[in-house]
Amino acid sequence: MLGIDWLGQIEGNVDNGHKVLACPALAEKEWVIGKPIDELRTLAKRLADAKKITVSIVALLPRTETLGSELFLVPTKIIDSPDKRGSSQVKWSLVDTKEAAEMMRDVKYGPAPYFGIQVVESVPPTVAAKASLSKE
């Protein structure tokens, strides 16, 4: 499935009130979207330990229902061919205004949707990961 079609499905789910969760992936500018919370916790924990930072699991919000103080998740590069696993390839950026989201979104296949985000859960790195950072 093309990235723009996949994004349209996500937008439809979010706009129809379905709770769609996401978290950053290990690769830069990639996000895991639409997986169950338990799977996202595992991925977030792996990223938190690898980067020694707290990682947020977020709910996607319709851009029309966001408040001015929220962040936006914006597809900044849509690749028209699926990856080896058949998944859509989309690169994402976080921005802090609707205006920035409008300007940064990839429009080569049409107006790509973007989403407000709301933190659902924060996953900190393990104590061992924090301790190894302080020893360096």
Give the pTM. Answer: 0.84
| Domain boundaries, given as residue ranges, for the chain | 3-125
DSSP 61: E
Backbone angles phi, psi at 95, to 5 degrees: -130, 165
Q: Give the contacts of 120 (CB within 8 A, at least 6 positions apart).
A: 21, 37, 56, 57, 58, 59
State how far the Cα of 61 lies from the Cα of 38, in Å rounded to an integer. Answer: 20
41 sits in the region (left: phi over 0; alpha: psi -120 to 50; else beta) called: alpha
Express each pLDDT in 86-111 by its tens digit. Answer: 566 899 999 999 899 999 999 888 88
How far does CA 81 lie from the centroid of its chain? 19
**Positions of the chain with pLDDT under 50:** 1, 129-136
